[in-house]
Amino acid sequence: MIIFLLSIIIFILYIIKFLKNKSCCSNENIPPPGPFSLPFIGNLHQLAIDPHLAIQKLMVKYGNVMTVYFANIKTVVISDPHYLKEVFVNQSHKTSDRFLMNTAKLIGNEKDILFSNGQYWKNYRQILSQSFLKLKDHKGITEKISLESNKLADAFDWYATSGQVVDPSSLFKMFTLNVIMQLLYAHRSSYDLKEQHPIIVALKMVEESLAVGNVLDLFPILNIFLKKNKVKLMNNLQEVWSYSQESIKEHREKLSKNPEKIDDLLDLFISEINSSSNPEFYDDEGLYRVCSDLLLSGTETSSSTMSWLILFLINNPNFQDKVRTELLEATGGKKSIQLSEKSKTPFFNACIKEALRIRPVGALSLPRIASEDVTCGPYTIEKGSQILMNVYGLAMDPTVWEDPETFNPYRWLSSDISQSTYSFIPFGCGARVCVGSSLARDEIFLGVGNVLLNYIFESQNGKPINDKGHFGIALQTVDYNVKLTKI
């Protein structure tokens, strides 16, 4: 009986969905084409594992602007540089808002930067962007990042001298966490993986819950069974927020006594607020949520890119040798590189760009929503749809990139590189482009530069490492171990 009733319900839903799809569009209101979607799951059966690769396959049939359904969420995926510009730049007023799922609302409460919209987002984004601009010119703060990259190189030393293999990703993650922790709390943690700072432990738990969170966002009914996950997420977020609140209080007190004493990003942020026309708008809730945003958005992204870069340099030992020779020439033989020496390392800079192209960790960027109907070439993206930028697909387009699946840094050095800006968007594009891109590039340059100056990296078994990776909270490498030889 139950099966019979369920079949009837599914059949009715199927008909409703079919009729809705048919009736939604007049001639001038054509939605982008896409595969047929099933009731409840939409196209999840086609997209659930490695969605960036699944979308590549579907694109062959449906083209560069395509409609798919993540469960019942209507989603348009854009893989064409001209349409990206049309949608995210020319119609930015209709496409700057984030598509907010339940987990995003829990994290941001619509009072942060990653997951807020409207005037609230605009005000906080402006202050944060100004703070990042000033950070770049603040010698004392950039010096801290430089010193942290020397500590990262030291952290590999034990493995090199003892001959033990190590997973470099775990140390890269500690490095990017330490950078953000110093920018926000003036604290750092040991690289000893057994003695981790409580914030790092809490953040790891948050990331674990987020991986499960995706399923809950698509099927809220599962909340009944996975209540524990929500409680775990909230407890760990609370730990990060409380820690941030303490730090905000200390920073405010220090700046009220000495407004000129700027030691980190949080100081810059608070002093920008103090000198803004409406400082009372920026309450402590907004501030502590921005702190957790920076930990969430600015650590796994940069460290995964560093892991990809090292992986491709292991698989291409000639490139690794060439980078090291260039770095040693730039530093005059010293084992530590400075940001001021960036202009002397064009080949290494090209390798960083190539890693960001070939394995963009934000392979589908962060979702936006069409707040009104949006024109996209001959199609209309219906108000309320989720919109994704196909960052990975753009980087794999053979009409733009010669042999796109090959790690080839030379493509960035050739004088006839002529692809559109919107074909290479690892940091997204338009009004919500990544605010931390410059910091990320500096971290990758210093962190990977310094370890390459000190060690030769090889795979554990001497064979090339799997370079396909997997889609977790970001496009990540598979776990891999390296053998190190000290130089």
Residue closer to ligand HEM, measured from CB, 434 or 482: 434
Q: How far apart are CA 216 and CA 213, in angstroms?
A: 5
User: How much of the chain is helix, strand and coil, in % rounded to 5?
Assistant: 60, 10, 30
Name the pairing type of β-strands 374-376 and 379-381. Answer: antiparallel
- The answer to whether 100 contacts ligand HEM (rule: CB under 6 A) is no
**Phi, psi (degrees; rounded to nearest 5) at 37:** -110, 150
Strand ranges, E, within 247-340: none
DSSP 273-284: HHTSS-GGGS-H
Task: Report yes or no: 192 and 207 within 8 Å, Cβ to Cβ.
Answer: no
Residue closer to ligand HEM, measured from CB, 44 or 294: 294
- The answer to whether 301 contacts ligand HEM (rule: CB under 6 A) is yes
Task: Report yes or no: 243 and 216 within 8 Å, Cβ to Cβ.
Answer: no
- The answer to whether 477 contacts ligand HEM (rule: CB under 6 A) is no
Task: Select the residue interacting with ligand HEM from 43, 46, 103, 302 (CB under 6 A).
Answer: 302
Task: Select the residue interacting with ligand HEM from 108, 286, 362, 469 (CB under 6 A).
Answer: 362
Residue closer to ligand HEM, measured from CB, 287 or 294: 294
Task: Please name which of 24, 65, 66, 75 lies closest in space to residue 384, comparing C-alpha atoms.
Answer: 75
Task: Please name which of 112, 71, 106 lies closest in space to residue 210, comparing C-alpha atoms.
Answer: 106
Binding residues for ligand HEM, total number by CB under 6 A: 27
Task: Select the residue interacting with ligand HEM from 212, 366, 400, 473 (CB under 6 A).
Answer: 366
From 154-162, 163-171, 312-320, 357-365, give the range in contact with ligand HEM by CB under 6 A: 357-365
- The answer to whether 361 contacts ligand HEM (rule: CB under 6 A) is yes
With tokens 């399923």, the residue in question is: 215
- The answer to whether 408 contacts ligand HEM (rule: CB under 6 A) is no
Residue closer to ligand HEM, measured from CB, 352 or 484: 352
Token readout for 353 is 């760009």
Alpha helix positions (H), 63-197: 81-84, 92-95, 102-108, 118-137, 139-155, 157-162, 168-185
With tokens 């220090």, the residue in question is: 254
From 27-35, 137-145, 296-304, 463-471, give the range in contact with ligand HEM by CB under 6 A: 296-304
- The answer to whether 51 contacts ligand HEM (rule: CB under 6 A) is no
Residue closer to ligand HEM, measured from CB, 202 or 364: 364
- The answer to whether 432 contacts ligand HEM (rule: CB under 6 A) is yes
Task: Report yes or no: 189 and 197 within 8 Å, Cβ to Cβ.
Answer: yes
Task: Report yes or no: 366 and 474 within 8 Å, Cβ to Cβ.
Answer: no
Residue closer to ligand HEM, measured from CB, 182 or 454: 182
Task: Select the residue interacting with ligand HEM from 240, 435, 452, 465 (CB under 6 A).
Answer: 435
Q: How far is the CB of 31 from ligand HEM (least distance, A)?
A: 22
Annotated binding residue at 434? Answer: yes
What b-and-e string marks burial along 428-448, b requiring 16 or more CB atoms within 10 Å of the CB?
Answer: bbbbbebbbbebbbbbbbbbb
Query: Count of CB atoms within 10 A of residue 27's CB?
Result: 5
Contact pattern from residue 148 through residue 187 relative to ligand HEM, giving x for each residue in contact according to CB under 6 A and a dash for the rest: --------------------------------x-------
Residue closer to ligand HEM, measured from CB, 374 or 484: 374
Strand ranges, E, within 297-356: none
Contact pattern from residue 107 through residue 136 relative to ligand HEM, giving x for each residue in contact according to CB under 6 A and a dash for the rest: ------xx----------x-----------
Task: Select the residue interacting with ligand HEM from 266, 434, 448, 451 (CB under 6 A).
Answer: 434
Q: How far is the CB of 325 from ligand HEM (least distance, A)?
A: 25
Q: How far is the CB of 98 from ligand HEM (least distance, A)?
A: 6
Task: Report yes or no: 470 and 331 within 8 Å, Cβ to Cβ.
Answer: no
Contacts to ligand HEM from residues 195-254, by CB under 6 A? none
Residue 175: partners with Cβ closer than 8 Å, 6 or more residues away: 148, 149, 151, 152, 155, 303, 306, 443, 447
Task: Select the residue interacting with ligand HEM from 51, 436, 447, 449 (CB under 6 A).
Answer: 436
Q: How far apart are CA 204 and CA 170, in angstroms?
A: 12
Annotated binding site for heme: 434
Annotated binding site: 434
User: Where along the sequence are the contacts to ligand HEM (CB under 6 A)?
Assistant: 113-114, 125, 180, 293-294, 297-298, 301-302, 305, 361-362, 365-366, 426-430, 432-436, 439-440
